[in-house]
Amino acid sequence: MGKSAKVVLPDLRLAIDKLAPVSGDRLPPERELRDILGCSRETLRACYATLEKEGEIWRRVGQGIFRGRRPRYMPIRDTLLVEGATPPDLMLARLLLEPQVAAEAARHANASDITQLRAKVAEGRAARDRSACEQADDAFHRAVAETSRNPVLIGFLMYLSGARRRVAWQREWDHTYRRIAPDEFQTIHSDQHDQVVDAIAARDANAATTAMKRHLKTIAVAMAAAE
């Protein structure tokens, strides 16, 4: 007989403390947690249901499970607005929005925010495969958005982040990743993330706008070259 949810739940709490220590961190994939805990999918999902009811985790369809309570700016259900969006559509939306979000982050950041942003950059430098690189990149951009203190901007960024999990984007990103590999994430992309944080730390909104725009254009060019 497999482990029950009652037996697994304390171990799951410890695993989350270790692997997703900060509110907003994404939990590891379900298969990875099942291997760590030695339990079935059904048992793990029963544990998730308990933690979600307690407000310890929340789910984002197509994106994963996150630690903490569902942000107030995050709707329970997605709309179908970006169902037909292409990867170039999403990149253009990011280019239009994220530089301004970075500028707002520069206007509102405090010392704790900068420490958090530096930690996210370090996670990107330590990433060793496509999944880890993408998770670190997503976490960095989410942290910049949260630093803006604007729930509407945060909501838009989170929605675009969810759109990046859709099949069309993933297929395009897989092609790009095969071309540039992890070392570019650990160097060029992380260097650009650092430049964004430097501008935010200096409270220089114009520099933050420029640094974020430069970073996103690098991604757009890499995706275009991989076609």
For the chain, list the domains and their CATH numbers: 5-67 (1.10.10.10), 87-225 (1.20.120.530)
Strand-pair category, 57-60 with 64-67: antiparallel
Which pLDDT value is given to residue 220? 84
Reported pTM: 0.63
Residue 201 has pLDDT above 80, yes or no: yes
Which pLDDT value is given to residue 146? 94
Which pLDDT value is given to residue 76? 45
Asked if 125 and 117 count as a contact pair (C-beta separation under 8 A), the reply is no
Residue 95 has pLDDT above 90, yes or no: yes
Asked if 69 and 31 count as a contact pair (C-beta separation under 8 A), the reply is no
Which pLDDT value is given to residue 167? 46
**For residue 27, which of 65, 56, 74, 69 has the smallest C-alpha distance?**
65
Helix (H, G, I), strand (E, B) or coil at 66: strand
Q: Which residues pair with 65 in a beta bridge?
A: 59
The percent of residues above 70 in pLDDT, for the chain, comes to 81
Count CB neighbours of 155 within 10 A. 16
Q: Tell me the per-residue pLDDT of 5-30, one tens digit each, with 9 for 90 and over.
A: 899 999 999 999 999 888 778 899 89
Which pLDDT value is given to residue 151? 87
Provide the pLDDT confidence category of residue 73 given band limits of 50, 70 and 90.
low
Q: Tell me the per-residue pLDDT of 125-182, one tens digit each, with 9 for 90 and over.
A: 998 877 788 788 889 999 999 999 998 888 888 777 766 655 455 566 556 655 555 6
Please state, rounded to an integer, the average pLDDT across all residues of the chain.
Answer: 84
Name the residue with tokens 């059904």. Answer: 42
Which pLDDT value is given to residue 38? 93
